[in-house]
Amino acid sequence: MIPATQPLLSNIPPYYYSAPHAVGVIEGALYGAAAGSAAGFVGGAGNAWVRGASSSEIFRRGYQGVAWGAAFGAVSGGIGGGIRAKRMGLNTLTGTGTMESVSEVGGTYDVAEAQKLADIYDNGSNAITNDEILKGKVEPKYPTGRIQTLTTKTGDNYGLLSDGQYLRLETGNKVPAYTTRYMFGKVDLHVSPYVTNADAVVFKAYVGHEMIHIYHYGHFGKSYSKLYSEGMAYKYSYDVFMNAGRISDALGVQTSAIELGFWLDIKDIPYHYRPMPEYIRR
């Protein structure tokens, strides 16, 4: 029999339970519980095995380890996920967050009318038609693996303006498109009817803006920075308009970014945030 002084297999480093890629308390707790369960079983059963226990005792100790490991993993993973979400500018509990391209900050619009227009649009045939147009433009050009919903419908907390752009009900911001990040890195991409049916320059400026956020979500994971992602996205939209000779549109993007605190000098954005994948650059 191996002596009791033999190092125990249950002495697994705490980071094993920490769900290092999870974002938000819930996601962190789920990942942590799963990792902790596996580690707990291996540790409990392994500890019994090295001490010469019977098969039934090995399994009993293993299942005890599952319970303890799951509990410890859920707590530690949840704490770690919440901290990461806060650092990323996302909801601490759920890990969700919204990134918008804003064309006008704090406008004075009729909120009730915008909600009414949104309800009519979201439940009408125009939304179905525009969704098909949107998919036909996005899917051939951009990767969509992380996108669980691609739509022109307004979504929660948004109304619709007469020009076809969204209205963020809480802020009064006019929003051409926005992305919502959910648990496990999936996103919803909402592109307004205005952008969906606009010319190629407008479509590229605003859809590309959101694709930068989706790229950053996936590429940087827990080190994602809302500030740097927005800084690059607004610079991208500005450059698209300027390169097309649309100076007024470019200055509008710049004004919104300045008012929101996202207009950054390129030297203030870390180098690793600057490169863009080919599908965004083309």
Looking at the predicted structure, is the pLDDT value of residue 103 above 50? yes
Whether pLDDT at 13 is above 90: no
* pLDDT over threshold 90, residue 147: yes
Phi, psi of 110 (to 5 degrees): -80, 105
* pLDDT > 80? residue 9: no
pLDDT band at 220 (very low <50, low <70, confident <90, very high): confident
Q: What is the pLDDT of residue 82?
A: 44
Instruction: Return d(Cα 123, Cα 53) in angstroms, integer.
Output: 64
pLDDT of residue 96: 59
Beta carbons of 209 and 240 less than 8 angstroms apart: no
Residue 263's CB is within 10 A of a number of other CB atoms, namely 17
95 confidence band (pLDDT: 50, 70, 90): low
What's the token pair of residue 277? 């994948």
Token pair listed for 135: 């998919």
The one-letter amino acid at 262: F
Q: Is the pLDDT of residue 202 over 90?
A: yes
Name beta bridge partners: 174.
104, 167
Q: What would the 3-class secondary structure string for the chain be? A: CCCCCCCCCCCCCHHHHCCCCCCCHHHHHHHHHHHHHHHHHHHHHHHHHHCCCCHHHHHHHHHHHHHHHHHHHHHHHHHHHHHHHHHCCCCCCCCCEEEEECCECCCCCCHHHHHHHHHHHHCCHHHHHHHHHHHHHHCCCCCCCCEEEEECCCCCCEEECCCCCEEECCCCCEECEEEEECHHHCEEEEECHHHHCCCHHHHHHHHHHHHHHHHHHHHHHHHCCHHHHHHHHHHHHHHHHHHCCCHHHHHHHHHHHHHHCCCCCHHHCCHHHCCCCHHHHC
Regarding pTM above 0.75, the answer is no
Q: For residues 229 and 257, is the Cβ–Cβ distance under 8 A?
A: no
Closest CA to 203 of 229, 227, 245, 237: 237
More confident residue, 88 or 12: 88
pLDDT of residue 69: 52
50-59, 70-79, 92-101, 265-274 — which one is most confidently predicted on average? 265-274
Half-sphere exposure of 174 (CA within 13 A, CB side): 18
Average pLDDT over residues 198-215: 96
Instruction: Determine what percent of the chain is predicted with pLDDT higher than 70.
Output: 64
Residue 34 clears pLDDT 60, i.e. is over it: no
